[in-house]
């Protein structure tokens, strides 16, 4: 029987994973990886941390758990996989099942036959049409060479101000890395919020306020039109549609675009990325594709989405490795789950955003619930803010977003599981989660958020969002009731026109002080007391009463 020939194009994440899995499933297969770059099988998501010195050595991003560096020699000796570094795939001959490759240094070409072909061609940084992007001191951050070049520039030049174009995940992470060098950083985002593909606007506003406390300069709703050079051709600032900002280094972090040129040349179906079926086959059944070059199906919307993530690329690679050797494993789709840590805060999201859910026709209900990540009496507790997005008719959870200094990863993963299996707010509220004071409150933040969703659907909770709450601060027809203690009020004031201070415990006794001809908005730090205050006032005959989502702890005022 002729030896099975598997050729893998791309040697970063999905490609090596597919190759290694294929070899495990079919030890006699001839597996070859083609990689045009200088590095193999590296953790690209760790590059900002190498720049900021959290990760000390570049080789750590290419090492196994037992600290063996993944070189071509390692792949050959440990896995019997051939790796051709510095070779680029330039053409696919589907009729004859051959790939033409070219040596990027010498120009030499050759052809490789294949029985099964894997496209793991990844993505490239998106460069907006900005004049002056060729200036010295302008960088992207997508591969180790970019990071090494940035480090060298930082070491050899007097950089006091850096500009990051793009306030997405990589832009935010790299801003922290640059700030670790003692450099002032300005983030310029064209959309009206940071992390536009991760967080809804309310949570993004709270996260941006925190970043500004950490001395990052945040400018949103602004477009960079030109990079300004000095006489030596080096960056000295940028010109935006709102003025000039000075800086000696620029990072362009405007997202990525999938590398689909090779697939297009071969006549494969593409749209936003390479189109694959549930088995990760392209329109040619002998060609598979995975990682940042493909589009996936969203588990909730059932629409094709482009969500390039290292976690997805590795799962793709494993399934492809199984299937190219005769397996029949399906990839179930994605939820767009992402998480980021910047300084001491975390942010994460899974499922649909509120806007996406509304666009799909859901009658959306949302809950914003803050709380500690450990029991409130336990040392070291930190706050998190959870937003749940649900369908009013069924109570089904559609999405979740979390921010704050506390442990959000555990809660985010709970919601990934819940959304994956179509759980309702009632089911989430009654999950048998692990509890002990060092790990969570007895009623975890996620459970509380699900109960709030239930209360809103049932008509018990009359909540008001941050945007509406802020818009009424100067309204003569609104009175705000501050339920906090005198000591709590010293930490944060509310710039409202009409405020009545009635501590929560005194509300029943002092309800006669509250006018009945005005809209009443009750608030406290985390809304725990505010919801109960709304119920108390409703019971006492007050009709027009609402509480502020999440209290005032997280919201910039």
Enumerate the active-site residues.
45
Q: Which long-range contacts (CB under 8 A, 24 or more apart) does 326-333 make?
A: 326/25, 326/26, 327/25, 328/279, 329/279, 330/278, 330/279, 331/278, 331/279, 331/280, 331/296, 332/278, 332/299, 333/296, 333/297, 333/298, 333/299
Do 215 and 161 contact (CB within 8 A), yes or no?
Answer: no
Distance CA(527)–CA(369), nearest Å, equals 8
Residue with structure tokens 């992207």?
Answer: 140
Separation of alpha carbons 181 and 178, rounded Å: 5
Q: 260 and 295 in contact (C-beta within 8 Å)? A: no
In 3-state terms, what secondary structure has residue 166?
A: coil
Q: What are phi and psi of 163, to 5 degrees?
A: -120, 130
Q: Residue 536's closest CA among 506, 513, 515, 496? A: 506
92 neighbors 262 (Cβ within 8 angstroms): yes
Residue 147 to residue 32: CA distance in whole angstroms: 28
The contacts of residue 44 (CB under 8 Å, 6+ apart) are: 12, 13, 61, 142, 143, 310
User: Can you spell out the DSSP letters for 421-478?
Assistant: TT-BHHHHHT------TTT--SS-HHHHHHHHHHHHHTT---EE-HHHHHHTTT-TTE
Instruction: State the SS3 of 63-96.
Output: ECCCCCECCHHHHHHHHCCEEEECEEEEEEECCC
How far is Cα 333 from Cα 453, in angstroms, rounded to an integer? 26
Q: Is 197 helix (H, G, I), strand (E, B) or coil?
A: coil
Q: How far is CA 537 from CA 68, 389, 424, 546, in A?
A: 65, 27, 30, 10
DSSP-derived letter for residue 491 is T
Other C-beta atoms within 10 Å of 120: how many? Answer: 31
Query: Quick check: 7 and 114 in contact, CB under 8 A?
Result: yes
d(CA 44, CA 142): 7
| Cα–Cα dist 139/149, whole Å | 8
Q: Is 127 helix (H, G, I), strand (E, B) or coil?
A: coil
Q: How would you classify the pairing of strands 217-220 and 224-229?
A: unpaired
CA dihedral sign of residues 132, 136, 138, 143: positive
């Amino acid at each position: 029987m002729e030896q099975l020939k598997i050729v893998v194009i791309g040697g970063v994440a999905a490609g090596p994973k597919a190759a290694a899995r294929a070899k495990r499933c079919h030890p006699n297969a001839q597996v070859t990886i083609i990689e045009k770059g200088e590095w193999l099988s590296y953790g690209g998501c760790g590059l900002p941390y190498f720049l900021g010195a959290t990760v000390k050595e570049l080789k750590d991003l290419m090492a196994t758990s037992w600290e063996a560096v993944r070189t071509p020699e390692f792949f050959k000796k440990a896995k019997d996989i051939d790796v051709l570094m510095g070779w680029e795939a330039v053409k696919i001959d589907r009729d004859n099942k051959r790939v033409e490759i070219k040596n990027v240094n010498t120009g030499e070409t050759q052809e490789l036959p294949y029985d099964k072909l894997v496209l793991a061609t990844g993505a490239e940084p998106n460069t907006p049409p900005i004049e002056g992007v060729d200036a010295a001191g302008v960088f992207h951050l997508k591969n180790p060479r970019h990071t090494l070049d940035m480090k060298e520039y930082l070491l050899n030049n007097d950089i006091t101000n850096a500009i990051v174009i793009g306030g997405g995940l990589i832009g935010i992470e790299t801003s922290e890395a640059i700030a670790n060098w003692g450099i002032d950083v300005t983030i310029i985002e064209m959309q009206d919020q940071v992390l536009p593909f991760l967080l809804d606007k309310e949570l993004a506003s709270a996260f941006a306020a925190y970043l500004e406390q950490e001395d990052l300069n945040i400018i949103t709703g602004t477009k960079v039109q030109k990079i300004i050079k000095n006489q030596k051709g080096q960056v000295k600032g940028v010109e935006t549609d709102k003025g000039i900002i000075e800086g000696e280094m620029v990072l362009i972090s405007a997202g990525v675009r999938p590398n689909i040129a090779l697939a297009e040349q071969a006549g494969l179906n593409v749209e936003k990325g390479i189109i694959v079926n549930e088995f990760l086959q392209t329109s040619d059944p002998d060609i598979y594709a995975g990682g940042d070059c493909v589009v996936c199906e969203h588990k909730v919307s059932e629409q094709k989405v482009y969500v390039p993530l290292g976690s997805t690329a590795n799962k793709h690679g494993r399934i492809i490795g199984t299937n190219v050797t005769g397996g029949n494993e399906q990839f179930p789709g994605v939820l767009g789950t992402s998480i980021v840590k910047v300084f001491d805060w975390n942010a994460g999201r899974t499922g649909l955003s509120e806007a996406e859910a509304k666009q799909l026709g859901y009658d959306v209900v949302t809950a914003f619930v803050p709380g500690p990540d450990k029991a409130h009496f336990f040392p070291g507790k930190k706050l998190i803010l959870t937003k749940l997005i649900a369908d009013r008719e069924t109570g089904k959870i559609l999405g979740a977003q979390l921010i704050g200094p506390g442990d959000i990863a555990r809660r985010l993963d709970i919601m990934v599981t819940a959304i994956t299996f179509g759980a309702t707010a009632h089911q989430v509220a009654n999950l048998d989660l692990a509890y002990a004071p060092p790990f969570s409150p007895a009623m975890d933040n996620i459970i509380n958020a699900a109960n709030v969703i239930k209360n809103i659907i049932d008509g018990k909770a009359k909540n008001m969002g941050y945007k509406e709450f802020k818009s009424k601060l100067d309204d003569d027809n609104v009175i705000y009731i501050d339920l906090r203690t005198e000591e709590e009020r010293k930490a944060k004031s509310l710039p409202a026109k009409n405020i009545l201070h009635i501590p929560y415990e005194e509300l029943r006794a002092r309800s006669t002080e509250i006018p009945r001809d005005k809209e009443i908005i009750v608030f406290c730090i985390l809304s725990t007391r505010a919801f109960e205050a709304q119920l108390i006032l409703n019971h006492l005959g007050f009709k027009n009463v609402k509480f502020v989502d999440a209290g005032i702890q997280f919201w910039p005022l």
